[in-house]
Structure 1
């Protein structure tokens, strides 16, 4: 992971502008570049290097993304910049079913509102912010013109990308349901490493992350890293931050259950057609 961080840091041109905090209300925007490592699991062992490269090229838009975080003192709005598919020239409609939608967070009210679309149906996920028990260290580094400090934490993996779906996770749940073992299964945890700057005194960050005494400019977790490439404070153009409003209201847990039930239904229907 460290080698990936160093490589990306060398490639990205950080256009970060220094900022002196004031007592007045302020707004800002931060652009993040996200890159995830492709995990092919047991299927990858049977593939040639050429096949792996072809899959990587096909999934480039899912593995490499650009996001914009707009924020003020108490609110933030996080959205992905849409890209055309690297191969077909079209948007990635399949991947959109399991991608993160537009996300509004209010740190004062501990509230999250996120728009999700699953197979043409719109949902409005309303829940609390992810609670992260950060451990703040003394290690520091410069990102652009900002002095950043390191913070680490561990959170349940299922809470990080709750809008996604995994056949592996579904199989595990089904195995647990069918098992007669009385032992409580261990909760899978994901380690997080974040770098935040007190020079921008807001408790915001990309995606689910936040709750630190400064804007998060870099975060890595699992096979993914997000790096801030640009920060603009008090831009000339007014920034309006509003929560999404369209869709069926639902909680994170209920949304996950909806996805699982739909995917099981699709799997069963496919199995019946083959009979």
Structure 2
């Protein structure tokens, strides 16, 4: 108990001096994050060798493992994926085409805490969209639990949110070749009700901004770590008031739509692409002996 009280006092004093120091400057900074998503390799009744699973994982690595940069000041932030060259053999073929529909073509995410504004420029099948919406607030629950992340004391918070609609997942078991698999197709096409999942975040009050990676925000300090379902986002480096800072500009290009409107458009385009692929596969298979 005594140790906990001392820890709280030390953190409070650090926060006091840090806040006073930051208040004297035009405060801005950068945080660097690594994102990693694990993919379910359960293919139902299909027998897939470990070698084949590894091959699939290697090809999907560029989609499942990414690096991001968060530029922030006292009220704004811009979160964008770092550009990198594709490794030969990775991210190509059908997976890349579906990745473009399912979120990989999304642009930088702009958040303005003061104006409760979220903006994002997205490109979908050659068309530009500007997602313009209110910041979605999560009902964070503080646990009081702490841990050290680098030089920062981090506090734990949890919240429930709707699971992300987009993502890669193997389809259900396929019927026998040439057999009737209509029921399985119908089951796969049924709309699912929203699933709620728990999000765990770790934030530090030593950097007193309400910002974080992606759409995560609203805690009394910079969010350093997030765990959401099978995705983890970890902060690897922070720069405060350095020469490497950048000006944050609001995105403005593209047809203005809400987040729900954009999600609906993306789902419709994904369904169209899926039908085209199935049709092409059936036509291609018809000519085989």
Distance 1:238 1:153, change over 3 A: closer
Tell me, yes or no, if the aligned pair for 1:61 and 1:83 is still in contact at 8 Å: no
Give me the CA root mean square deviation: 2.7
Structure 2 distance, partners of 1:47, 1:66, is: 30
Q: How far is 1:123 from its partner?
A: 1.0
- Report SS of the residue matched to 1:76: strand
Structure 1 distance, partners of 2:125, 2:158, is: 36
Which consecutive unaligned segments of at least 5 residues does structure 2 have?
Answer: 1-14, 172-184, 284-289
Q: How far is 1:236 from its partner?
A: 1.8
Structure 2 distance, partners of 1:224, 1:171, is: 29
Task: State the match for 2:18 in structure 1.
Answer: 20
Residue deviations 1:32-51 (CA, integer Å, cap 9, x gap): 01111121333585211101
Task: State the match for 2:255 in structure 1.
Answer: 248
Structure 2 distance, partners of 1:44, 1:208, is: 37
Q: How far is 1:93 from its partner?
A: 5.0
Give structure 1 regions of 4+ aligned residues with deviation exceeding 6 angstroms.
89-92, 165-168, 170-173
Count of paired positions: 246
Q: How far is 1:60 from its partner?
A: 0.9
Distance 1:78 1:192, change over 3 A: same
Task: State the match for 1:59 in structure 2.
Answer: 60
Over alpha carbons, which structure has the higher Rg?
2
TM-score under structure 2 length normalisation = 0.77
Distance 1:111 1:56, change over 3 A: same
Residue deviations 1:121-144 (CA, integer Å, cap 9, x gap): 111111111210000111101111
Task: State the match for 1:175 in structure 2.
Answer: 190
Q: Does 1:141 align with 2:147?
A: yes
Structure 2 distance, partners of 1:227, 1:271, is: 38
